[in-house]
Structure 1
Amino acid sequence: MAIASDQMTTAEDAPELTTPPAPHEPLTPDSEGPRSRRPAYFLLGLTLVLCVLVTACAVLGVRIQDGRHEAERDAQVLDTTRTVLAQLVSLHHNSAQQDLDRIAANATGQFRDQFDSVADSFAQVLGNGQVESTGEVKAAGIVDANDDTATVLAAVTSLVKNSEAPEGQPRVYRMKATLNHIDNQWLVASVEFVA
């Protein structure tokens, strides 16, 4: 069989034969196989897991902080409510003005306005009747609260002595107080007697 000159190839025209790299030679991008992609997938997966964990920790931290803030706020609301309601039912004719001033110092809004308008006549009634009333808040619970306002229900008892009942008469009240957060303190904005 005869070979024509146009069918002959020289070393320059021959296709290059590729051989796999020797074991001691580093892999090149052209020579990477499926095994070389595993570390990349592993690192991607590990990065995603770490991102999820960091995000979960941040969310949990914020929730814990919010819970602490709400607990502190609620404690302040209940403390103010107990103080003011106990003061409302603990009035003495010989210290009426001081008792009323303490209540007014923790009042705001409509409650403060109403209280200020009747304080003088109320002090006279206490003096004329020789009123001695001592009371306490037996239980109080927050109905609703946020950083600006709160509503509290309370069970209050008192022993009221006066010129008509020198031995005293026990009284039981259920009160609803609304508080406002003003100038970094909780003040009572309204008090209602509820049945």
Structure 2
Amino acid sequence: MKTDMAVETDTDATDAIVTDQDDTTSTTVDDRSTETESETKAGKESPKSTTTSTRKKSAKGADATTDDDSAETEPSTGDGGRPVGRRPARFGWGAAGVGLLAVITIAASALAIVFGLQLKNRIDVENAGQEALRTAENYAVALTSIDTRNLDRDFARVLEGATGEFKDMYSSSSSQLRQLLVDNQATGKGTVIDAGIKSQSENKVEVMLFVDQTVTNTASPDPRLDRSRILMTMEKVDGRWLASKVELP
């Protein structure tokens, strides 16, 4: 009997242990299942939390940016509502700058006037030189072209184009020259080969001329060519260019 009781006791104890183990195992499995389900739910909900957190951070960043823009756009105001922040830059010459600008303007105008006058004077001188050159060429032809049959006409033409020293000299010697030409039945025809301006101003021009003169007379009936170099001084008198000096250098 004792033995049977002992065996039953041991069997009951064994069953109790097995039951405890089964309960423990079941509890462990249930706990793991619960943890798995919790992790699964957490995994599903995590993106939402992350997204929500990100949105919150973005909203905060946008708010911060808006605050910064507002701080830059709207200057802080002090008492009375006047802006205290940065003042707009002012660009002005001031009294000294205006005075300097006036001086520069006056100087530039003066230089323009000076250069303009110089240019005008240069143009006037060049024009005067060309006019005197053409007149000298024509006068050289009149001076070297003589025909004894028309001495009065030729002498009058020479005197008409002369002035000053040369006119006085030609007038005083014209009677002797006339007699010499008549006695020798001399004729002459002049041609200007070349001419150029030696010096020039608005009222006085020196012209160098190279003249060929074909001459005939009783001593030499065949035409003879004489070449002369003439330095003629032209002066402007009453708007006309006249020969004041004729030299044979």
Q: TM-score, normalised by structure 1?
A: 0.72
SS for the counterpart of 1:36 is: coil
Equivalent in the alignment of 1:179: 234
What do you get for the CA RMSD once the two structures are aligned? 3.2
Equivalent in the alignment of 2:90: 36
SS for the counterpart of 1:160 is: strand
For residues 1-195 of structure 1, what are the structure 2 equivalents within 5 Å? 20-21=82-83, 35-37=89-91, 40=93, 57-194=112-249
Matched-pair identity in %: 21
List per-residue Cα deviations over 1:30-84 (Å, max 9, x = no partner). x966x212x548x969878876765565445434422331122111211221122
2: CA distance, partners of 1:70 / 1:81: 16
Are the aligned partners of 2:185 and 2:218 in contact in 1 as well (CA < 8 Å)?
Answer: yes
Equivalent in the alignment of 1:9: none
List per-residue Cα deviations over 1:101-137 (Å, max 9, x = no partner). 1010111112111100111221222222111211122
Could you tell me which runs of 5 or more consecutive residues in structure 2 were left unpaired when the two chains were aligned.
1-77
Are the aligned partners of 2:129 and 2:202 in contact in 1 as well (CA < 8 Å)?
Answer: no
SS for the counterpart of 2:202 is: coil
Are the aligned partners of 1:97 and 1:123 in contact in 2 as well (CA < 8 Å)?
Answer: no
Q: TM-score, normalised by structure 2?
A: 0.58
**Structure number with higher strand proportion:** 1
2: CA distance, partners of 1:126 / 1:32: 101
2: CA distance, partners of 1:128 / 1:66: 51
1: CA distance, partners of 2:232 / 2:204: 11
Aligned residues, how many? 169
